[in-house]
Amino acid sequence: MTANRAHHDVRALILAAEGDAEQAVREVGAERTAALLVGELVDRADLDEVPGLDQTPITVAFELAFDGGAVVHHAVAGKTAEHHPGAPAAAHATIEVGLLELLRAVYGNWRAPGCQNLRIRWNDIEDIEALSSSMHVFHVVQRLVRGTTDHRADLSELSLRNGSDKWGLHYYTPHYERHFAPLRDRPLTIVELGIGGYGDPAAGGASLRMWKRYFPRAVIHGVDIFDKAALREPRIHTVRGDLSDPAFLASLGEEIGPIDIVIDDGSHYCPDVVAAFRAMFALVRPGGLYVVEDLQTSYWEGYGGSSVRRDDPATSMGYLKKLVDGLAHEDHEAGGVEPDETARTLTGAHFYRSLAIFDKGVNQEGPSPSWIPRTRMTYDEMTAVEWGGDGLRADSGE
């Protein structure tokens, strides 16, 4: 299956989880849907945190009722966590639930309380020695079922679990949490520039996996100059290209389409940061966000920055700071900023240490009304003001 097909299937199921789930399952296929859903539960289960599984692997079958029958898929929690189609030779426990119900719980709006009709069949404990492995089974099943509920870890915790430096080396995650939390349950398209791991094709992807976990309904696209196809998984797509290449930047819109969140964690070289913003802010949907990380490099000569030419728009911070004037373009008097598309669609700019977050929307509130004085009032003028509120109270007889 091509990466695009896989990406299309998962996106179709995410969108259908709130709508015609049955039709989407028929289009994607019941077996493929089961594989995606069980895979997602395995991802969300953090099974590496259950001790002892490398000695005693645990197998859990899923019997997913659909169309008068059941699709069977199974998860194996051992040294690694895996999942496979079909029934296992022997299962320690079996989870029974409707395929459509599971789809709604996994890819629907995650405020749902989980599956109402989920049943667990435990294997029989034949002797007391089997009791300890039964506790393992319990812990594995408990964690697999957790993925159907609205239980969720915060972003700093997910950063630690996935080995991302977005908390601990940098302290971005609390800022992200503030801006991202209202979007968490939406079926988003997220693009992160810079996957990590540099020339090692198997390394990197820590933050892609963190975003996947934080946003349970999002499809995450990572972009890197190196081939990172080995890191693809359902809901994680990778694109190879050089962010210094204007033709590649221009092609990203076609490849990915409209975007809800862009996170620039790429080369951090000032000309690349500026070129990426120029090309990609336009691709962000209204209500979306554009984030630039590691802005310390804007002050470093080795990255095309400068600690002296701090307002030079050739540096990342020099360029981004100027956007604030565009944000306020409707307040300017003669000689102010002539608004371009960025100024007309920028609705917020938030600067933190080494991090900036920009809101996309419609920046056309109109200028302040003409009756608001354009020169500072004198004390006497302020004293002479008859405040409308008092008049109103007098009129209403209070």
Ligand X SMILES: C[S@@+](CC[C@H](N)C(=O)[O-])C[C@H]1O[C@@H](n2cnc3c(N)ncnc32)[C@H](O)[C@@H]1O
- Footprint on this chain of ligand X (rule: CB under 6 A): 164, 166, 192, 194-198, 204, 206-207, 224-226, 242-244, 265-267, 272
* Number of Cβ atoms within 10 Å of the Cβ of 240: 14
Nearest distance in Å: CB 297, ligand X: 11
Nearest distance in Å: CB 203, ligand X: 8
Nearest distance in Å: CB 246, ligand X: 12
Is 73 a known active-site residue? no
Nearest distance in Å: CB 114, ligand X: 30
Identify which of 311, 219, 281 has the alpha carbon closest to the alpha carbon of residue 9: 219
- Kindly give, in sequence order, each residue whose CB lies less than 8 Å from that of residue 264, ignoring residues fewer than 6 positions away: 193, 194, 273, 276, 277, 290, 291, 292, 293
Pairwise CA distance, residues 266 & 264, whole Å: 6
Nearest distance in Å: CB 181, ligand X: 19
If the CB atoms of residues 7 and 170 are measured against ligand X, the closer one turns out to be 170
Largest CA distance in the chain: 93
Nearest distance in Å: CB 245, ligand X: 8
3-class SS letters over the chain = CCHHHHHHHHHHHHHHCCCCHHHHHHHHCHHHHHHHHHHHHHHHCCHHHCCCCCCCCEEEEEEEEECCEEEEEEEEECCCEEEEECCCCCCCEEEEEEHHHHHHHHHCCCCCCCCCCCEEEECCCCCCCHHHHHHHHHHHHHHHHHCCCCCCCCHHHHHHHHCCCCECCCECHHHHHHHHHHHCCCCCEEEEECCCCCCCCCCCCHHHHHHHHHCCCCEEEEEECCCCHHHCECCEEEEECCCCCHHHHHHHHHHHCCEEEEEECCCCCHHHHHHHHHHHHHHEEEEEEEEECCHHHHHCHHHCCCCCCCCCCCCHHHHHHHHHHHHCHHHCCCCCCCCCHHHHHEEEEEEECCEEEEEECCCCCCCCCCCCCCCCCCHHHHHHCCCHHHHHHHHCCC
Pairwise CA distance, residues 249 & 325, whole Å: 25
Nearest distance in Å: CB 294, ligand X: 7
If the CB atoms of residues 238 and 363 are measured against ligand X, the closer one turns out to be 238
Which residue out of 268, 329, 332, 350 is catalytically annotated? 268
Active site residues: 268
